[in-house]
């Protein structure tokens, strides 16, 4: 019997073609295509500055957690060599009390990262809750919450932090609480905008039609699809919190001596800028590198999580 030209391929032919096409992709490519997380990571690692920032943050976290392993001195150990210059014995030199600056810089990373991450966690939780309620329910409740947010935004950030810390007392926990309570406003407005967009989606309407509660709609359907901008902002906000902590300590309203804090070290080193510049250079450099690392990672996350690039 003659073969009909242009006939549809048989099931066996289709299977062979599909197997050939699948064989053209490596296992890694197939995993990335099938996994949204793999696609996000693939686009994130294209940003070299973001990857470099992630490496810097990983190194700092390692040094902060395992500080006793990367230095042989104690951050409060006094020495006889006051304001000694950097040497093989003291890599970053010493301060006015003879304490090793390299050790205090390493332990200062523990203080700054603890304050920065904890403050951002508090601010993110408060901002997400308020933004979700305002964006989902709208109406008068939305207006009340957003006008209250505007009132909080009108206060100068650092000035308000100084006043509150002065009232409740200085210390790490006070700084964490103050920075967390003063940092949620921008997150709330950002997440509210994402919720307003997400709640108009078809999948939310479908979930509402089958009888999902408001809490389930927000947590299960809206939150995972609206949280990306908050993740990016919170990453960058860690750097802002580190700067704020250093500024408060520098002004005498933050962490107290003898806790090794970068802001305190900068405040001490400014008096010896011309005679012992290393006392100012190394803690200020640590602040700069940390803040830039979080900014680079946040920028990379913004590009990786942008749905327009998928």
One digit per residue, the tens of pLDDT, for the chain of length 310 reads 444 444 444 444 444 444 444 444 445 445 444 466 777 788 888 889 999 999 999 999 998 899 888 888 888 888 778 888 888 888 888 888 888 899 999 998 988 899 989 999 999 999 999 999 999 898 899 899 999 999 888 888 778 888 888 888 888 888 899 889 888 999 999 999 999 988 888 888 888 888 888 888 888 888 888 888 899 899 989 988 888 888 888 887 888 888 888 888 888 888 888 888 888 899 999 999 999 999 999 888 888 876 555 5
Q: Is residue 66 part of a domain?
A: yes
Instruction: Give the residue from 121, 125, 112 showing the smallest Cα distance to 172.
Output: 112
Q: Is residue 82 part of a domain?
A: no
| 223's tokens | 């939150």
For residues 94 and 83, the answer to whether their CB atoms sit within 8 Å is yes
Q: Is residue 217 part of a domain?
A: yes
Q: Is residue 9 part of a domain?
A: no
CA-to-CA distance for 39 and 29, rounded, in angstroms? 10
Q: Is residue 243 part of a domain?
A: yes
Q: What is the CATH number of the domain that holds 149?
A: 1.10.3720.10
Q: Is residue 24 part of a domain?
A: no
Q: Is residue 32 part of a domain?
A: no
Find the DSSP H helices in the chain.
Answer: 11-23, 27-34, 36-44, 48-65, 67-70, 101-137, 139-153, 157-168, 172-181, 184-198, 202-209, 214-216, 223-226, 228-250, 262-269, 278-305
5: alpha, beta or left, given left = phi > 0 and alpha = psi -120 to 50? beta
Q: Is residue 15 part of a domain?
A: no
User: What is the number of domains present in the chain?
Assistant: 1
Q: What is the pTM of this model?
A: 0.80
Q: Residue 206 sits in which domain range?
A: 48-71+101-309
Q: Report phi then psi at 7, rounded to 5.
A: -65, 155
CA-to-CA distance for 262 and 272, rounded, in angstroms? 16
For residues 61 and 117, the answer to whether their CB atoms sit within 8 Å is no
For residues 149 and 130, the answer to whether their CB atoms sit within 8 Å is yes
């Amino acid at each position: 019997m003659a073969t009909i030209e242009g006939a549809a391929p048989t099931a066996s032919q289709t299977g062979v073609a599909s197997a050939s096409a699948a064989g053209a992709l490596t296992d890694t490519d197939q995993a990335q295509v099938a996994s949204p997380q793999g696609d996000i990571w693939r686009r994130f690692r294209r940003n070299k500055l973001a990857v470099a920032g992630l490496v810097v943050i990983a190194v700092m976290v390692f040094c902060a957690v395992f500080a006793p392993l990367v230095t042989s001195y104690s951050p409060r150990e006094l020495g006889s060599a006051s304001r000694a210059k950097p040497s093989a014995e003291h890599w970053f030199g010493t301060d006015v009390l003879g304490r090793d600056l390299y050790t205090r810089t390493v332990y200062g990373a523990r203080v700054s990262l603890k304050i920065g991450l904890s403050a951002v966690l508090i601010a993110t939780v408060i901002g997400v809750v308020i933004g979700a309620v305002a964006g989902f329910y709208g109406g008068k409740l939305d207006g009340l919450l957003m006008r209250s947010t505007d009132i909080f935004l009108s206060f100068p950030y650092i000035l308000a932090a100084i006043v509150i810390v002065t009232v409740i007392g200085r210390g790490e926990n006070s700084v964490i609480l103050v920075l967390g309570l003063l940092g949620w406003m921008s997150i709330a407005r950002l997440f509210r905008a994402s919720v307003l967009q997400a709640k108009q989606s078809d999948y939310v309407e479908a979930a509402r039609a089958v009888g999902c509660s408001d809490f389930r709609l927000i947590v299960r359907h809206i939150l995972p699809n609206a949280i990306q901008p908050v993740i990016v902002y919170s990453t960058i906000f860690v750097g802002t919190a580190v700067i704020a902590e250093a500024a408060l300590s520098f002004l005498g309203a933050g962490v107290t001596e003898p806790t090794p804090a970068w802001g305190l070290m900068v405040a001490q080193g400014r008096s010896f800028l011309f005679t012992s510049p290393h006392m100012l250079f190394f803690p200020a450099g640590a602040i700069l590198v940390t803040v830039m690392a979080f900014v680079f990672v946040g920028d990379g996350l913004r590009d990786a999580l942008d749905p327009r690039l998928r």
